[in-house]
Amino acid sequence: MPTVSEFFGIKIYMYYAHGKHKAPYFHARYQGQDASFSIISGRILAGQLPPKVVKIIKSWNKKHKNELLINWSKIQSHEIPKRITGADYD
């Protein structure tokens, strides 16, 4: 699973599971917990993370929505997604 960003101990990664999800989404991992987020709405699709972490991810998603959508197109075409600056500007 290609990691597209890391910040504050949060890993953001993307992959495309054919037939599972039609809407663009990404995964986030923090301290052994995972959740999937809609790129369009920022809502959690599955999983659970601490509320503070969800708030940081939603803010980051909003700021980088266009880059995430470009990466979504890349992974659907079996291309490697590009790195995205983290919320801590890494």
Percent of the chain scored above 90 by pLDDT? 76
Do the beta carbons of residue 6 and residue 85 sit within 8 Å? no
Q: pLDDT band at residue 77, thresholds of 50, 70 and 90?
A: confident
Q: pLDDT band at residue 26, thresholds of 50, 70 and 90?
A: very high
Q: pLDDT band at residue 17, thresholds of 50, 70 and 90?
A: low
Q: pLDDT band at residue 47, thresholds of 50, 70 and 90?
A: very high
pLDDT at 23: 86
Phi, psi torsion values for 41, nearest 5 degrees: -95, -20
Integer Cα distance of 13 and 1 in angstroms: 6
